[in-house]
Copies of this chain bind each other. A is one copy, B any other.
Amino acid sequence: MKLDKNLKILIVGLGLIGGSYAKGLHKQGYKVSAIDTNEDSIAFALQNDIIDNGSTEVDPKLVGEADIVVFALYPHVFKEWIEKNQHLFKSGAVITDVTGVKSCIVYDIQSMLRKDVEFISAHPMAGREVYGVRNSDDKIFKEANYIIVPTDSNTFDAIEICKGIGETLGFARISSLPPKAHDEMIGFVSQLTHCIAVCLMTCSKSEHLVDYTGDSFRDLTRIARINENMWSELFLLNKDALLAQMEKFIGEFNEFYEILKEEDTEKMKEKMIRSTARRALFDK
């Protein structure tokens, strides 16, 4: 199977990311259907020409005719769905996902899945501080990274299809990482930063912050608006990797604290020079 516009794509979970996938793929000419338990989400997507077909129930016809199924669900809901409904998949279907943590889910899904269906995992590193299909927007992918997370059991064809989805959606960079390396990286660049943003908002009781905050504080706390159900689940599922990244950050932060306390200007400047050089690479 190769990715082409005659393939039928089913999105399971029509939230912000599922909705943005549907929008982007549908715009590019794909037949897109969706399943979501929320009636309003399906109605909205149908009315706004985001999907061709939709159902609030696990419709055997929609599942059975899909060549590609994209899961955009909470990790534990994803696993339950596969357990309960995988008998409905079309033989030869390719399954992918958008889950933000991988080690805890990829191997489980692959080992429980029917052998005539293949799961190739992916992580679109995009999001917004608002939720639901009504806020979906395929433009969020334009500047974003798309990471394919294959295991040894994935085939070249499935990896190519997964890559093709990322290309079709217009991601800026497409790369590939094994599950463990993915989770360490995510623990650092995404989860640690969300922990920091939350702690910045909760560590001070000042009610008048908004009167004085400059861009710095706004930038560092934008992601402090956080879906507590999704993120607490993602944090727990990646607990060991995240704790390790938090320890690394605390160690560095405590070192900076001591340097300031001792008024060691030279060491402070060294750190600032290093951070400036590393950050400059992002702006090239």
- Tell me the A residues contacting B by CB distance below 8 Å: 125-127, 129, 143-145, 147, 173, 175, 177, 185, 188-190, 192-204, 206, 209-229, 231-232, 235-236, 239, 242-243, 246-254, 256-257, 260-261, 263, 265, 268-269, 271-276, 278-283
Contacts and interface: CB of A to CB of B under 8 A. Distances in A.
Q: Is the interface of A mostly helix, strand, loop or mixed?
A: helix
A192 B199 CA distance: 12
Contact of A200 (B202, B228, B243, B249): B249
Contacts of A196: 196, 200, 220, 253
Interface centre among A147, A214, A223, A256 (most CB of B within 10 A): A214
Given A236-B263, A250-B257, A263-B239, A275 B210 contact: no
A193 to B, nearest CB: 4
Given A210-B282, A282-B210, A231 B272 contact: yes
B201 A275 contact: yes
Contacts of A251: 203
